[in-house]
A = this chain, B = another copy of it.
Amino acid sequence: MKYEFREEKSVYGDLIFESKFWKLFLAPSQRCLGTSVLALKREVMNLRDLTSSEWKEFSLIVKITEIAMNKSFKPDLYNWACFKNAAYRDESKGFKAKIHWHLHPRYQDPIIFEGIKFIDPDFGYPPGLKEKTIPDKLREKIIKHIRTNF
């Protein structure tokens, strides 16, 4: 599987990498350190409409991303979800219910990154909706760190 690192900003966050069919973004909220969004590049509304090539690449990305996150932050588990609820919450924002996956690395214990303590306040439960924003410089360091582990 080929993928490249480059800069891009979107509603899903800041690009970590792009592959043939998918883009992985560091999510705007870092409530759980490393929270990411894996968005399909093609405009598709339902998982049943993914092609076998898109599924195949998705499964490879799950694998390399979990391995890279393990090396980066050693989370205890991963939550993967394809929800698309927000598209129905606030259509005025112009969101469409396009296929994208939320990846939440989950942490039983606090983790220190770049001297800053991250606590997963909902461990054992679905991640809360309350957003946690962090400085842009710190986001850049997180992305750089994750990329070194791909």
> Which residues on A are within 8 Å of B, measured CB to CB?
46-48, 50, 52, 55-56, 59, 62-63, 66-67, 76-89, 97, 106, 108, 123-126, 129
Contacts and interface: CB of A to CB of B under 8 A. Distances in A.
B125 A89 contact: yes
A124 B88 CA distance: 5
Contacts of A81: 79-83, 126
A80 B77 contact: no
A88 B76 contact: yes
20 contacts: A47-B62, A47-B78, A48-B66, A48-B67, A50-B59, A55-B56, A77-B87, A77-B88, A77-B97, A79-B82, A79-B83, A80-B82, A81-B126, A83-B126, A85-B106, A85-B123, A85-B126, A88-B108, A125-B129, A126-B129
